[in-house]
Structure formats: C-alpha cells, structure tokens
Structure 1
Amino acid sequence: METIMPRWSEYTTGERVKILRGKNIRQTDLAEMTGLSVPTIQQVEQDKRLTLPTLMALAAALRVDTAVILGQQEPRRAMDHGDRTTMRNLSVAVHDTAVGLLPADSESPSSDELRQSITRCWDLYWQGRYVEAGGVAALLLAEAGAHLHAQPADAQAEAWSYLCDAYRLSAYVANLMGSRDLAYAAIGHAAQAADRTADDMRGPLVASGRAWIYLRDARLDEALALAEKSAVDIEPRFSTATMGQLVAYGSHVNFAAVVASRMGNKERATDYLSQSHATGARMGVEHRAHGTLFGPVSATTQAVGINVALGHTGKALTLIKSIKDVSPLSEAARNRYAMDKAMAQADAKQWDASLDTLESALVAAPDWARHQALPSVIVQKVGRASTARLRRVSKLIGAVPPGADGFTPATARTAL
C-alpha cells in the first residue's frame, strides 16, 4: 500500500499553492492568470512572501477559498483546477439565477430547445462526465431563467418545470463533486420551483434528490424518511401506470432500499428490493424518463450493492452470476455495478477476481472513478498482499484522491 501523505495543514503555504497549481499550470501560466509577476509566484511557492492582495489573486485564479491556500480547509476530493472552475461557475449560476440575476447576453430559448438541453445534460451525467454536466448545467440555468422571465405571469408553470430540472441537475453534480453546501442550495431552489409547476411528479423527484444528499452527508434517518415518503407519493397503479411512472417509482423505491441497507435495516431493505424487482419485471425493459434509467437490469444490478451493504455476500454473488448483459445500463450505472461486484468479490476473499474487476473499471472510466471513494475501500479490504496487480490498482487509485501531483490529504482516508 502507498505511504500515507501528510495532512493538508501540514504542508507549507508555498507547497499548497504548488499542489493546487498542479502539473498542467506552470508558474508563468499562474502569473498570467493572476496578473502577478513570475518572481512573486516563485517567492510565494518558496514561502518567502505572501501579501493579502497576492493571496486573493491566487485564490481567484486557482478557484479555491483563501482558507484552502492557508491550510485551514482541505481542497475538495478529486478536484483539479478545471473541476474547481466548473464548480465555481455552477455556484454562481445557481445563486444568481435564484435571485433573478441573469447574464446580460441571456436569450430565451424555445421549450423544445430547453428540453433538448436538459436531456443532453442528463446524458452527460449518466455517462459519468460530471464536470461536463456541471458546465452545461450552469448554462442551462441561465437559459431556463431567461425562458421563465419571458413568459406571461399566468403561463409560467411549464417554464418553472424546466428551471426545476436545471436546479436538480445542478444539485446532483454538486453532490457527486463533494460540494455539499451547493448541493443543498440547488435542491432547495429546485423544491421552490417544483411548487410552481403543474406537475405532481416534480416534487417527489426533488425530495428524492434531497434524500440522496442526506445520504452522502451521513444524515441516514432523514434520508430514509424522505426516500420512503417520495416512493409513497409517486407510487402508481401498476395496471394503468405509464413507463415514465414506473421508472420514477422503481428508481425511488430502489433508492429507499439503498438507504435502508446503509442503516443495516434488513427488513425494510428487503421489502423495498422486492418492490423494485416487481417494478422492473412489470416494465420488462430498461426505460429512460425524468432524468433517470430504470428497468429489470437496473433492479438486479443495484440489488448487488444493496446485498453487499447488508452483508449478504452469498446473495450478491448469486445475483452477479445471473447478470449476463449490462449494456442496457448507462455508463455510470455499469461502472457502479463493477464497483459493487468487486466489493462482493473482496468480501468473499476472491482477491484476484476483485482486483481484476476493479482494475478493468478504473482503466475504462478514469474520469468517473476519480470522483468515487469505493475503489480505495476495496483495495483496503483486499489487504496488503504485495502483488503486481495490487500495486497496479493502487497506482490507478493514486489519481483518485484530492489535489494534484499525487497529493493525498487526510480526507482521502476519512471519506471512505
């Protein structure tokens, strides 16, 4: 296993600036970005000089808070400069749109153009291209805001639904990128927008998104209560349900099973899993609606991770043997299934199989993997065996933790 690196606060300010600059930004580049001289950048990185104006300029250019440069706050997990720029732009778009501040060049797109943009953003999200999705979501918010303002006051319900979707997308991206405060803000604005639509489905969809943020914020009791309420609110009559309604219900009830499994509540998790499988069987095929994909393959593959969380390794391995084709899933769902499969194999002490599964996923989807904590958990579970395969996988995971230049601050160990 790799040597544990110092905590972020244990680096000097100069070292932190160099780490944040990374391999892709030279000192001359940073000087141009900040308007500072190259000698000033060199003096900062050598811990010889740092004035308040210089600190502010560096923070703006590196897209971090001043507290990160000073070592008072650790950088977001797996974020390079491009990631931080995207999240800063997304944050500005979320907060500005919420108070009606739109870019001066904003034009109102048509409803068809907005729907196409929303679909494209969801596609990027489910491909695991979260940084790109965040960039599109920032633009989408401005367009949806402009579209809303262009509508008569008595004909805005549909426009509010587009803005609701844009906020929900922003919340999902922020949550996965570790920007929890932004995720809470965006999902809150999504809830307010949902109240102004004429679509009864929007409210439960947003509530489920908030439950997911609770889950990643370790607020498990609240996550389960909200997930259960969302599933109940959205449950359709199977005999008359549309495919879109079944997608929404199946994904909601499956998420309730996920939360219950994280709490170790086997009875509830099993009950929700049963409903999830029943919904998938009723659908017969995978179907995309409301920004998500669900069907029989989704129900089965997600059940693997749920059984792993419950400690039902045998059930998870049996399910894995029954899964022959995951091509109907989105890229992100296939990647997540690979992680759950590797974890099940590790729990069963199938070390080589686990590392093979993990390595294949990391090589196939490095951009997706660097925003995930599970690979490090799997490697720790496999053990400290000094094998070539373990070293290869550990090297791949070395690109996953926060920062740049191989930096691995304490959050890489505590966030697992």
Structure 2
Amino acid sequence: MRSTLGAQLSALRRRRAMSQRDLAERAGVSVDLVRKLEQGQRHATRIASLTALANALDVSPADLLGKPRGLPAGRVSGEVGAIRRAVLGVRRTNVEPPTMDAQRAAAAEVWRLYWAGRYAELARELPDHIAGARAAVDAAATHGRPAAWAVLAELLQVTASLLAHLAHEDLAHLALAEALRAAEASGDELLHAGQQATRSWVLSRQGLWSEAEYVAVTAAEQVRPALARASVDQVAVWGELLRYGTTAVARSGRHSEAQEMLGLVRAAAARMGGDHRSRYVGMAFGPTVAAMKAVDVAIAADRPRQAIKLAERVEHPESAPTAMHARYLLNVAWAQMTDWRSQDAVDTLRTVEALAAEMLPHQTIARTIVAELLPRRRKQRLPGLVGLAERIGVAAA
C-alpha cells in the first residue's frame, strides 16, 4: 500500500499533467526521491524537500500529506462554521456586552484551552466570546474602547491559531487580518507585534518560508528593545518574533543564518532571567523555549543526532505549555525516526498521545513519522505502533 504522501503526490502530479521528472526539476529534488515516495518505498522526506514538492504542485505541505481538515466527526457540530461567521463579523442580535473583567477572563481562558490542546472545547467557546467582544467594542465609551479592541484582538489571534491547526489556513489569515486591525485600534504596539508572530507561524505552516521570515523579522526590528532596560513583555515579544523568524530561515536551508538568529533568541531568553509569561505571546518565554528551538533548528539542518543530544540538555520541558511540550516531543520523535531509533520514536509518540491526545491527529509531523515507521515492522516488532496509527487515522499497510 502506498503511503498517504505517495498517493497524494502521484494524484496531484497527474492532475497537473506533470511527469515525475517535471516535478523533480520544478521542485529541485531528485527523480529517484519522487519515484520512491510515489511507489511507497519511502514514506517521509526532509521538511525542505517536502515543502519544495508542495510548492511545485501549488499546495500546502499539509495538503500533500493528506492532513484532515476540521475537528473529528462526532466531537463537534458546526463549530467551524460558527467560527467563520464570528470572524466575518456577522452580528448577532441581543448580545449583552460583557464587563471588561469578564472579557479579560475569557481571553485568558481561551489561551489556556489552546495551549492545553483542547481544540474541540475551544472551538465551542470562541464564537460566543468573539460576539461578546464585538458588542463590547460597540458599547464602550471612547476612553474604554482601546481596551475592548485589545481583547477582541487577542480572541481573534487565538482563533487564527486554532484554524491553522484545523487546516483552515485561509480563514486563519482572515482572522489575523481582523486581529491586526483590532490591535491597531487598541493603540498597543506590542499587541500588534504579537499578532505578527502568529501570522509568521501560520505562513510557516503553509511552507511560505520567505514570507514568514519577512513578517517576523520586520516586526522584530520595529519593536527591538534595548535589552538592558526592556520590560519582560518587550523582550518576550521580540524573542517570539525572532523564534518564528529562526524557523523560517532554518526551513529555507540557510543554516548558518538560522544559528545566528538562534543566538538572538537565546540572548532574549537569557535576559528574561527564567521562563516568564507574557500576555502578548500567550505563554511563558525564556530559556526553555530557546532550548527547544535549538532542537528544531538541528532537525531543519538534517542533523538528527545533534537534535537528540540537544534535546537531552533541555531542562524541564514539561514546564512549557502542554501543546508546546507536545510539539517539541514530536520534533524529538522525528529525530529518532530519522536516526533509525524506531522504538524510541514510537515511545515518544505515545508519550505525546498521553499528553495531548486531542491535538495529535492534527499534527502533520506525527502522521508522517507513523507512516514512515509502519513499514519497518517487517524487521522490527515496534509494539504500540499499529494501535497508535489507527487512533490518529494513518492506515497500516
């Protein structure tokens, strides 16, 4: 049986009337790689090659991997449609404007759900919160309107992040456009910059590395602080923008530049004096996040053993938000899979499942790792793999 990647690659290539050689030349990869992927002899490839193939076919990497859109059947009913209407600003009648305290509590709660990976619950709550925030903006007196705009901006930022995870990237960009408009109306420069960090992340998920880099680096330059006297929030926003910029540069294959930018992320993290939460990034920023990013950069450079060694130096990764901890462990599993530590990769994936079962099926990297590991059962037992594959929707050969 061909892998999802191989089947998608073949179908998309044929739909565009391209030969394997045409696709390889356009993507800048070998014909042998295209052939092996389509024939199921390989089930994964380097992220840079995957992105190049997706760009050559004019699709996103998630589309190429057959990532499911939306939430699992039976978990929700019409939530994405309700979110779409909320993002588009379709006004509800008779919405009572919540108090500012209630709005701030709502913003904190949706961030908590997002970082806990509880997507179904988050999808249910967001439309009502957005409707309430819009009503609050309309009802606010002039002096209270900036604060109301700020809450609406945060809610739309979380909405965009959720939509990207659910493979609704275009709707995510629309939510971010609304979030940026609300942030600008609030007059809060750091809030506006934080929205740009999320925008860079969504672009990276689509494999649009140069655009993601431009957004992150430009915004970072605009808010670059004097580290000696900067506030925690200023350093956190600057560091987050650089972190996303590092991702884009590393995925573009410019590894020396990625290391230079990673050095700036580490400098920002060191200035924090520990992991400290900032409302502008929705989580804690500090040395733990910087150490996790170093693992990601090593993986982008196709250095799995270095990534595994760096992972061993990450202190207290469990202190990070659940979703970030899970995503970091998926990077570790990728390195283990690439280095042929197959059972270690399975064990790490099962740890992620125990940590954040709801978010795992939405992670393209998890599905790719499992697809690559399944054929290895011919030579290795790999207990626990088949059940995991079934639970996240990857067909076992």
Show the 5 A alignment for 1:118-133: 118-133=107-122
| Matched residue SS, 1:207 | helix
In structure 2, the residue matched to 1:400 is 392
Matches within 5 A, 1:264-303: 264-289=253-278, 290=280, 291-303=282-294
Q: CA deviation at 1:121?
A: 0.5
Q: Which residues of structure 1 form unaligned runs of 5+? A: 9-72
Provide, for residues 225-271 of structure 1, a one-character-per-residue CA deviation record: whole Å limited to 9, x for no partner: 11111222222111111112222122211111111111111122111
Render the CA deviation track for 1:117-141: whole Å, top value 9, x for unaligned.
1011001100111222222221211
Give 2:320's aligned amino acid: L
Match 1:88 to one of 76, 81, 93: 81
Partner SS for 2:277: strand
Shift in CA distance, 215/156, structure 1 to aligned 2, threshold 3 Å: same
Given candidates 56, 68, 79, the residue that maps to 2:72 is 79
Higher RCO structure, 1 or 2 (CA under 8 Å, sep 6+) = 1
Letter in 2 for 1:82: R
TM-score by length of 1: 0.74
Task: Give the RMSD, CA atoms, in angstroms.
Answer: 2.7
Aligned position for 2:127: 138
In structure 2, relative to structure 1, the CA distance for the partners of 1:166 and 1:261 (3 Å cut) is: same
SS at match of 1:226: helix
Find the aligned partners of 1:274 and 1:115 in 2 and give their Cα distance.
34
Larger radius of gyration: 1
Cα distance in structure 2, aligned partners of 1:281 and 1:191:
29
The answer on whether the counterparts of 2:197 and 2:240 sit within 8 Å (CA) in structure 1 is: no
Secondary structure (helix, strand or coil) at the match of 1:288 reads strand
Work out which of the residue numbers 181, 186, 195 in structure 2 matches 1:206: 195
Letter in 2 for 1:91: R
Unmatched segments (≥5 aa) in structure 2: 9-65
Specify the code of the residue in structure 2 equivalent to 1:157. P
CA contact (8 A) 2:67 2:362 kept: no
Q: Measure the CA separation in 2 of the matches of 1:366 and 1:193.
A: 33
Looking at structure 1, the residues matched to 389 and 112 of structure 2 have their Cα atoms a distance apart, in angstroms, of: 26
CA gap of 1:297–1:74, structure 2 versus 1, over 3 A, is closer
The residue number in structure 1 matching 2:216 is 227
Deviation at 1:391, TM superposition (A): 6.0
Distance 1:152 1:321 in 2: 53
- C-alpha separation in 2, matches of 1:381 and 1:348: 12
User: 1: CA distance between counterparts of 2:347 and 2:334?
Assistant: 11
Distance 2:254 2:386 in 1: 33
CA distance in 1 between partners of 2:117 and 2:294 (Å): 20
Number of paired residues?
336
Q: Distance in 1 between matches of 2:288 and 2:252?
A: 24
**Percent of pairs identical after alignment?**
25
1:397: how far off? Answer: 2.8
2:356 maps to which of 359, 365, 370 = 365
Distance (whole Å) between structure 1 residues aligned to residue 178 and residue 4 of structure 2:
40
- Residue 194 of structure 1 pairs with residue 183 of structure 2: yes
Whether the 8 Å contact between 1:129 and 1:367 is mirrored in structure 2 is: yes
In structure 2, the CA distance between the partners of 1:108 and 1:261, relative to structure 1 (3 Å rule), is same
2:338 corresponds to 1:347: yes
2:89 corresponds to which letter in structure 1? D
What residue in structure 2 maps to residue 248 of structure 1?
237
Indicate conservation of the 8 Å contact 1:170/1:186, yes or no: yes
The one-letter amino acid paired with 1:392 is G
CA deviation after TM superposition for structure 1 residue 296, in Å: 0.6
State whether structure 2 residue 148 is matched by structure 1 residue 159.
yes
Corresponding position of 1:314: 305
Counterpart secondary structure, 1:82: coil
Is the contact made by 2:200 and 2:245 (CA closer than 8 Å) also made in structure 1? Answer: no
Q: 1:17 is matched with which residue? A: none
Offset, 1:383: 6.0
